[in-house]
Amino acid sequence: MTDYPVNLDIKPDVKAFFDPATNTISYVVKDPASDACAVVDSVMDIDYAAGRISYTHADEIIAYVKDNGLKLDWLIETHVHADHLSAAPYIQDKLGGKLGIGRNITVVQETFGKVFNEGTEFQRDGSQFDKLFDDGDVYMVGEMKCFAMHTPGHTPACMTHVMGNAAFVGDTLFMPDGGSARADFPGGDAGELYDSIQKVLSLPDEMRLFMCHDYGPNGRDIQWETTVADEKAYNIHVGGGKTKEEFVKFRTERDAQLDMPKLIIPSLQVNMRGGELPPADESGKRYLKVPVNGL
């Protein structure tokens, strides 16, 4: 396995922003040694029934960054989300910073470029992003050394981003009582997800883990932070030493019962473009497609 530059002595400030419409948690992560920060997994608001987008959630993040005098170095997408639209370009436009995602975005673009029949003007080389991360890539947020771990399974492009003693796992894990995310989207793989989860759980026990989603199982309040130790001990899908075979069987059976996420169609079209809407047509308007029986 790659030798990752773990450093638990760096303790970033992590500010969470919960979006109740999609149960997504976005983060502003601040370097403790400077005013630099990163934004992880931002959300664009959409009223899909009305075809209307807005930026209330993103504006809240922008206001937080500005009010605290922070400088935005990075906008990180842990993966191409299928349940919410990214607001990364909107925030980048207002605050600067570089936009990064996993190298395998190209695989996701190839798959969904076909599903949405995007034609040749849709680039499938990841060029909508400033940086495509490979496993073990190191980058700086101010003076804080961060690194990316390739954790595929939920999607081929999923990365876990580790910033000091805080790891942003995307949809590789949920809170211990939430288990794990589905692995049945095109390019997903339950066995790969198990291996990726083990990779995350091989980080030090005290590593703080931050979720991308929480649904408050069994009526509990929304939570987003846990540790490697707690996931190893208590995660209902992989904790207590569950085997890969047990996990794959359970995950595959569970996924077969799940409905498509409500926003998967607009989310994929926007997120595979790095959060940009599809280009305007000759009338100057932008449209989202619905592929009939295409997913």
Near Fe ion by CB under 5 A, which window of 24-32, 76-84, 116-124, 185-193?
76-84
Is residue 213 helix, strand or coil?
strand
Near Fe ion by CB under 5 A, which window of 4-12, 91-99, 111-119, 169-177?
169-177
Near Fe ion by CB under 5 A, which window of 65-73, 106-114, 164-172, 222-230?
164-172
162, 236, 147, 232: which is closest to 12 by C-alpha? 162
Q: Does 84 bind Fe ion (CB under 5 A)?
A: no
Q: Does 171 bind Fe ion (CB under 5 A)?
A: yes
Which amino acid, residue 12?
P
How many residues does this entry show for the chain? Answer: 295
Q: Does 150 bind Fe ion (CB under 5 A)?
A: no
Closest approach of Fe ion to the CB of residue 286, in Å: 24
Give the Cα separation of 140 and 74 in Å (integer): 9
Closer to Fe ion by CB, 81 or 103: give it: 81
Q: How far is CA 280 from its chain centroid? A: 27
Closer to Fe ion by CB, 73 or 171: give it: 171
Closest approach of Fe ion to the CB of residue 167, in Å: 16
Closer to Fe ion by CB, 142 or 152: give it: 152
Closest approach of Fe ion to the CB of residue 154, in Å: 6
Near Fe ion by CB under 5 A, which window of 40-48, 58-66, 75-83, 189-197?
75-83
Taking the CA atoms of residue 29, residue 67, residue 20 and residue 222 in that order, the dihedral angle to the nearest 10 degrees is 50
Closest approach of Fe ion to the CB of residue 185, in Å: 8
Q: Does 81 bind Fe ion (CB under 5 A)?
A: yes
Closer to Fe ion by CB, 164 or 188: give it: 188
Residue number of the CB closest to Fe ion reads: 171
Q: Does 19 bind Fe ion (CB under 5 A)?
A: no
Is residue 4 helix, strand or coil?
coil
Residue with tokens 């959060």: 275
Q: Find the angle CA(223)-CA(131)-CA(78) to the nearest 5 degrees.
A: 20
Closest approach of Fe ion to the CB of residue 271, in Å: 9
Q: Which residues bind Fe ion (CB under 5 A)?
A: 81, 171
